[in-house]
Amino acid sequence: MEPLVRVLTTGDAGIIAVAKSLLDEEQIEYIVQNESLQELFGLNVTKPAEFLVRREAAERARDLLADLRAAADGEHP
């Protein structure tokens, strides 16, 4: 299996939804780790959700998600 690269980490449900929409629109395949924990226990109770993409799509995904990453970096625990 090809190595995956993390392109976004967030505990914000709104950012998660927008990131999914943007990646889907650009047809970038991704996996979201810890998302089910967010849904089960609520925000900031467990590990934040992590978006992982294939290495060859990482730069494109990071560019696409740049504004969301900036918003996620401003989150407070």
Q: What is the mean pLDDT of the chain?
A: 85
pTM of the entire predicted model:
0.79
CA count, 13 A, side-chain hemisphere, 48? 20
Buried b (16+ CB within 10 A) or exposed e, 6-16: ebbbbbbeebb
Per-residue confidence band for 77, with pLDDT thresholds at 50, 70 and 90? very low
Write down the domain spans for the chain. Answer: 4-73
Q: Domain 4-73: which topology?
A: Alpha-Beta Plaits (3.30.70)
- Mean pLDDT within 24-51: 78
pLDDT at 38 over 60: no
pLDDT of residue 37: 53
